[in-house]
Structure 1
Amino acid sequence: MAQTFELEGTLKHLFDTQTFASGFAKREFVVEVPDGKYPQMLKFECVKDKISMLDDVKIGDAVKIAFDIRGSEYKERFYVNLNAWKLTKADGGSSSGGSDEGGRYNSSLDSQFDNEPDASDDIPF
């Protein structure tokens, strides 16, 4: 089973729903996450019935996202997707779009990043 992650940020962009010939549908969105001097812009995707959880949010909303990291390979190129399956507004309103898959939180990530060097340089990456 895939490991689950959570993070909080501000909704910056909502893309239109994409529907493919096979019937598969997805919708992408971007969340800005504070990271010291240089905030990070992270693109997530919702697939199938989870697309509806984006109906209740708007640009500028503070959100909390539960997601899985998915990877794939196609013609020797590698892709990583952040697959959102639960979205909660910071005010506590839920937009889970269906069943909750456990609400698991990986606290080991918190300690993993405690040892990062001080980001006092001017390099944005």
Structure 2
Amino acid sequence: MEVQGTIKWIDETKTYGSNGFRKREVVLTTEEQYPQHLLVEFIQDKTDLLNSFQAGQQVRISINLKGREWVNPQGETKYFNSIQGWKIEALQEGDSGSGLPPVPPMEAFEPAKDLKEEDYDDLPF
């Protein structure tokens, strides 16, 4: 999955536990009728991917949705979701996200010539 929008905030890398688990969070604001502020976490070696980005940049982030179950001391089951990023790339102005180059305007193309039926008979087979 992918999400795209503008970086609102990037946190610093934080380390947890004795085995050095690393996590870094970024808030992405989507650009739609009702913008959403999505917290995306990058973990372990993926935290370094955020080093070259800053607030205000338009980006596309490849994500995985993660969910887990937890039973509290009272025996109640709780569920938690997270959005985990594994790739981030800057968007160019006007990038539609299709991965295709921009199409030139219609004025850049020449009109097609009227072809006669015999023009189609030049095939080698």
**Structure 1-normalised TM-score?**
0.66
The residue identity in structure 2 corresponding to 1:40 is: Q
1:32 CA drift (Å): 0.3
Following the alignment from structure 2 to structure 1, what is the Cα–Cα distance between the partners of residues 27 and 51?
Answer: 15
Q: Count residues with an aligned counterpart.
A: 87
Q: Aligned residue for 1:57?
A: 53
Are 1:16 and 2:12 counterparts?
yes
Larger deviation, residues 20-29 vs 46-55: 20-29
| Secondary structure in 2 matching 1:86 | strand
Q: Aligned residue for 1:79?
A: 80
| Secondary structure in 2 matching 1:91 | coil
Q: Aligned residue for 2:115?
A: none
| Secondary structure in 1 matching 2:48 | helix
Following the alignment from structure 1 to structure 2, what is the Cα–Cα distance between the partners of residues 39 and 13?
Answer: 15
**Structure 2-normalised TM-score?**
0.66
Q: State the superposition RMSD in angstroms.
A: 1.4
Q: Which has the larger radius of gyration?
A: 2
Gaps of 5+ in 1: 93-125
Identical-residue share of aligned pairs (%)? 31
| Secondary structure in 2 matching 1:10 | strand
Q: Which residue, 10, 23, 40 being the options, matches 1:26?
A: 23
